[in-house]
Amino acid sequence: MKLFLLISFSALMSLEAFGNSHESDKQALFKFKSQVSEEKQVLLSSWNNSFPLCKWTGVTCGRKRKKVTGLDLGGFQLGGVISPFIGNLSFLISLDFSDNSFRGTIPGELGNLFRLQYLNMSLNILGGEIPASLFNCSRLLDLSLYSNHLGQALPSELGSLRKLINLDLGTNNLKGNLPVSLGNLTSIREIYFDENNLEGEVPVVIGRLTQLLIFVLHSNHFSGMFPPAIYNLSSLTFLDMFDNGFSGNLRPDFGNLLPNLREWSIGNNSFTGTIPSTLANISTLQFLGMEYNSLTGSIPLSFAKIRYLQTLALNDNSLGSFSAGDLEFLVALTNCTQLQSLDVSFNRLGGDLPASIVNLSMSLNKFALVENNKLTGIIPQEIMQIPTLVSLRMSNNSLTGSLPEDVGRLGHLGKLYFAHNKLSGKLPETLG
């Protein structure tokens, strides 16, 4: 009898707790709705007392307890601020507020959501700092806050998110150095820090992130040598360091250390020294951007081995020696049949344009090749046989002879620059 009473009493207790907690989810969502800008509340009209909670727009419930486990309001164009009551949805696993117009700050109460695995608040107008409490959500796999106005430095607590697979903090106002605790995110595969005001050297501990596939640092103020720890990340497929303050030489064995790169950009930095010829060992490489640096020496003929190369941007360096052998790479590149875009302008290239450029890829659609170099000889007639070319810039060289007869036949050609050369003769009639 006693036992029976005990059981039914506790059953009653848990029923009541169940009822209350369901009710508290509802109250939390009503509070949330009340903070959404009024003209948009109509989008949440199903959020009312006569309609079951688990069928409300954007709401997902767990099967057993009917607690809210998912809230997906991505792309709803909601405005207003995010209510701290969201932190009461204690069973929440997935929260998507991306692509709305939420202002104000990210409520620190989100740190109570210890079951949270997916958080996406990208593409809003959120300011302030990333609340430190968020780093208590230790089950997070995806944290995406890109394109907001979030400021301040990244706190060292970041390293607590040990399960994190994807971290996207791009396009914000983040400042300061990367925290050393970043090295604790050993499951991580994708990191985006682009378009912030981050600075200093990339910490050595990132060499521990051996699962990393994508590492995006572009448009910040990072400095120092090419981060030595990155040479440890042999799985990397996408490495974007564009527009920072990196300097120094690249290791000659670069291509043997990062053999899986598909896209690599170090454009707009202050790198010096020669282009490692081992880059040719990266057989997966499709995009290679090294423009706006201070690279010297020759363009490796070994590039002929990079079969899938689509974009090669080497412009605005000091490549070449104003001498005859400088364009040999052009012949080698005829092996790269996927090449679409080639830019070697603003360098120190000399020598005659080889006729073999006609055998450069048939998909070549940008050929900014020779602007501001010191090329000599005539413009080969054959150049007009590259059918998809849209831009041909050859100004400021020492080219002689006349324009090719067929120059007007390049159907796609939108931009044509031949100024500042030693060309003579008449303008070809096909130009019209």
Ligand X SMILES: *[C@@H]1O[C@H](CO)[C@@H](O)[C@H](O)[C@H]1NC(C)=O
Report the residue number whose CB is nearest to ligand X. 207
Q: Which is nearer to ligand X, 8 or 284 (CB)?
A: 284
We find the least distance from the C-beta atom of residue 333 to ligand X, in angstroms, to be: 9
DSSP string, 256-318: HHSTT-SEEE--SSEEEEEPPGGGGG-TT--EEE--SSEEESPPPGGGGG-TT--EEE--SS-
Q: Which is nearer to ligand X, 232 or 340 (CB)?
A: 232
We find the least distance from the C-beta atom of residue 340 to ligand X, in angstroms, to be: 18
Q: Tell me the CA distances in angstroms from 199 to 167, 221, 288, one per residue in order.
A: 18, 5, 24
We find the least distance from the C-beta atom of residue 62 to ligand X, in angstroms, to be: 18
Residue pair 21/31 in contact (Cβ under 8 Å)? The answer is no
Binding site for ligand X (CB under 6 A): 24, 45-46, 48, 50-51, 74-75, 84-85, 87-88, 98-99, 109, 111, 120, 122-123, 132-133, 136, 142, 144, 156-157, 159-160, 166, 181, 184, 204, 207-208, 228-229, 232, 243, 255-256, 268, 277-278, 280-281, 292, 302, 304-305, 332, 335, 355-356, 358-359, 372, 382, 396, 420
Q: Which is nearer to ligand X, 75 or 325 (CB)?
A: 75
Q: Tell me the CA distances in angstroms from 118 to 42, 123, 350, one per residue in order.
A: 26, 16, 55
Residue 174, class by beta-carbon neighbours within 10 Å (0-12 exposed, 13-18 middle, 19+ buried)?
buried
Show the CA angle centred on residue 164, arms to residues 21 and 128, nearest 5°.
Answer: 75
| Residue ranges in 309-366 assigned as alpha helix (H) | 328-332
For residue 17, give the H/E element and its range.
Answer: helix 2-35
The dihedral through the CA atoms of 172, 215, 248, 300 has a sign that is negative
Give the integer Cα–Cα distance in Å for 44 and 61: 17
Q: Which is nearer to ligand X, 8 or 34 (CB)?
A: 34
Q: Which is nearer to ligand X, 132 or 362 (CB)?
A: 132
We find the least distance from the C-beta atom of residue 220 to ligand X, in angstroms, to be: 11
Q: Which is nearer to ligand X, 151 or 155 (CB)?
A: 155
The dihedral through the CA atoms of 209, 215, 221, 223 has a sign that is positive
Q: Tell me the CA distances in angstroms from 48 to 42, 43, 136, 362, one per residue in order.
A: 11, 12, 32, 61
Q: Which is nearer to ligand X, 38 or 429 (CB)?
A: 38
Phi, psi of 285 (to 5 degrees): -65, 130
We find the least distance from the C-beta atom of residue 432 to ligand X, in angstroms, to be: 26
